[in-house]
């Protein structure tokens, strides 16, 4: 999850989210946004 440590005890949740987005992974800010993001990704929004 976003709060997990990136490596060596360094890195913030925000930095991890940015790294995931830069890798092409869909990221949401809260669990409440997951359904909407899934619909968007699946082309049903």
Q: Which residue ranges make up each domain of the chain?
A: 1-45
Mean per-residue pLDDT for 3-13?
64
- Secondary structure (DSSP) of 1-45: -TTS--BTTB--HHHHHHHHHHTT----SSGGGHHHHHHHHTT--
Please give the residue that has the higher pLDDT: either 25 or 2. Answer: 25
Rounded CA-CA distance 14/9 in Å is 15
Give me the active site residues, please.
1
Q: What is the pLDDT of residue 9?
A: 59
Asked if residues 15 and 6 have their Cβ atoms less than 8 Å apart, the reply is yes
Is pLDDT above 70 for 8? no
Work out the widest C-alpha separation in the chain, in whole angstroms: 40
Q: Which range, of 14-18, 25-29, 39-43, averages the lowest pLDDT?
A: 14-18
pLDDT of 4 = 57
């Amino acid at each position: 999850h976003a709060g997990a440590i990136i490596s060596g005890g360094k890195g913030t949740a925000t930095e991890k989210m940015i790294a995931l987005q830069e890798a092409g992974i869909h990221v949401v800010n809260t669990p409440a946004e997951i359904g909407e993001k899934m619909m968007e990704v699946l082309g049903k929004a």
